[in-house]
Amino acid sequence: MLRVDALTVRFGDVTAVDDVSLELAAGERLAVLGSSGCGKSTLLRAIAGLEAGDGTVSVDGADLTHTAPDRRPIGLMFQDHALFPHRTVEQNVAFGLRMAGKKESARTRRVREMLALVGLEGFGEREIATLSGGEAQRVALARALAPAPKVLLLDEPLGSLDRYLRERLIDELPDVLGATGTAAIHVTHDHDEAFAIGDRLAVMHAGKVLQVGSPGEVWAAPTSITVARVLGHTNEIIDGVTKVVWRADAMTIDPSGPHQAMVDRVHFRGVDHDVRLRTHDGRMLRFLLDDPPAAGNDVRFSIDPARVLRFD
């Protein structure tokens, strides 16, 4: 449905988006994962028409490359929400409907529907300045969804929220998008969020899309060390010319195991523990364990070969 072909955006000498091609099916959610500065926001802005670039963008076969943002059937939810400070919640949500020339009765109905969808019934008359972060985020979502764009682009939509709200919205967002059948590209730097929301996952680095696949596939089999790093794999071992990465779930404490390291520190995480080990050659390793060893002791362990990634 959405097709991005060889999209490149340059700012002077810097290439922010470098030859990116993507496809998105109707109703599909694509998560774009990348660290900050990798060009993922610029990618969304270019798809929305807010940045000029080379390459083509089309929706349902219609070439939109030279179409102004206001004429693209694409919605964008901004990282900082960009709510209109001079309008109420209701007026914010109704904005796109007004632009589309919808009648007032239809607008009112749709706004009520959208506010209900994001759990903000009765918030219509509120001023933007009086909203909390989570409320503002939901208003932004409702506003972006209200005109029923074919594609919704979400730029770090949960970035500024507290953990509790984030986790709740990670659950709700797919439901909301599913309820409206909107295809979405969700940009984030957080792999948990990307895994939870994306039907598919695209990993971005330095302006390029390095790998696309289901979250499970990508996590299990990154195609390069860079992708592995973006996914949060930190345990890199050089084994000759091959780079080897031990996944964080690859370790088992095993007194007869082949590896030994000192337990540097242990963070309790609730369900499990985040264990940092220091090898004798000074390398830092990080694993997740249900039953951690005490800090300060040496520990022997083994690695599940099925959970080891190799890059040539």
Partner 1 sequence: MRTRERIGVGDALMLLPALFIGLFFLFPVGTVLWRGLGGEGLDAVFDLAKSPRQRDVLWFTFWQAAVSTALTVAVALPAAATVGGLSDRARRFVRSLVTVPFVLPTVVVAGAFDELFFATGLDTGDFRLRHTVWAILIAHVFFNYAVVVRVVGTACAGLDGRQAEAARVLGATRWQAWRAVTLPRLRPAIASASAIVFLFSFTSFGAVLILGGPKRATLETEIYRYAVSRTDLTRAAALAVVQLVAVLALVAVSTWLERRRPATTRMARPTRTLGSRPGRWLNVGMATALLGAPLAVLIERSFSTGTGYGLSHYQALGTRVRQLPAPATTALWNSLHYAALATVLAVLIGVVASVVVVHGRSGSRRLFDLGLTLPLGTSAVTIGFGILIALDEPPVDFRTRWWIIPVAHALVGVPFVVRTMVPLLRSIDPSIREAAAVLGASPSRVRREIDLMIGARGALVGGGFAFAVSLGEFGATSFLPRRPEDLTAPVALFRLLSTPGDLLRGQAMALAVVLMVFVSVSVFVIESSRGTAEGSL
The answer to whether residue 71 forms part of the interface with partner 1 (CB under 8 A) is: yes
- Figure out which of the listed residues 60, 63, 121, 127 binds partner 1, where binding follows CB under 8 A: 127
- Figure out which of the listed residues 3, 87, 208, 229 binds partner 1, where binding follows CB under 8 A: 87
Which range, of 16-24, 42-50, 187-195, 252-260, touches partner 1 by CB under 8 A? 42-50
Question: Within 247-306, which residues bind partner 1 (CB under 8 A)?
Answer: none
Which range, of 22-30, 91-99, 157-165, 185-193, touches partner 1 by CB under 8 A? 91-99
Which range, of 85-93, 108-116, 159-167, 213-221, touches partner 1 by CB under 8 A? 85-93
The answer to whether residue 215 forms part of the interface with partner 1 (CB under 8 A) is: no
Residues 184, 151: Cα–Cα separation, whole Å = 5
Continuous H helices in 49-157: 89-99, 104-117, 133-145
Angle between helix axes 104-117 and 89-99 (nearest 10 degrees) is 130
- Looking at residue 274, the DSSP 8-state letter turns out to be E
The answer to whether residue 106 forms part of the interface with partner 1 (CB under 8 A) is: no
Which range, of 70-78, 165-173, 223-231, 241-249, touches partner 1 by CB under 8 A? 70-78
The answer to whether residue 74 forms part of the interface with partner 1 (CB under 8 A) is: yes
Going 119 to 123 to 127 to 130, the CA torsion angle's sign is negative
The answer to whether residue 69 forms part of the interface with partner 1 (CB under 8 A) is: yes
Closest alpha carbon to 232 in 217, 245, 242: 245
Contact 110, 146 (CB under 8 A): yes
Which range, of 123-131, 213-221, 225-233, 261-269, touches partner 1 by CB under 8 A? 123-131
Which range, of 94-102, 157-165, 277-285, 304-312, touches partner 1 by CB under 8 A? 94-102
- Looking at residue 92, the DSSP 8-state letter turns out to be H
- Figure out which of the listed residues 28, 29, 33, 49 binds partner 1, where binding follows CB under 8 A: 49
Residues 127, 134: Cα–Cα separation, whole Å = 15
Question: Within 128-157, which residues bind partner 1 (CB under 8 A)?
Answer: 128-129, 143-144, 147
Question: Least CB distance from residue 142 to partner 1, whole Å?
Answer: 12
In this structure, what token pair is assigned to residue 128? 């933007």
What b/e sequence results for 239-256 when a residue is b if at least 16 CB atoms lie within 10 Å of its CB, and e otherwise? eeeebbbbbbebbeeeee
Reduced to 3 states, what is the DSSP secondary structure of residue 103?
A: coil
Question: Least CB distance from residue 311 to partner 1, whole Å?
Answer: 38
- Looking at residue 292, the DSSP 8-state letter turns out to be P
Question: Least CB distance from residue 50 to partner 1, whole Å?
Answer: 5
Residues 278, 192: Cα–Cα separation, whole Å = 26
In this structure, what token pair is assigned to residue 156? 């770090």
The answer to whether residue 52 forms part of the interface with partner 1 (CB under 8 A) is: yes
R_g of the chain, CA atoms, integer Å: 23
By the criterion CB under 8 A, which residues form the site for partner 1?
45, 48-52, 66, 68-72, 74-76, 78, 80, 82-87, 95-96, 99-100, 127-129, 143-144, 147
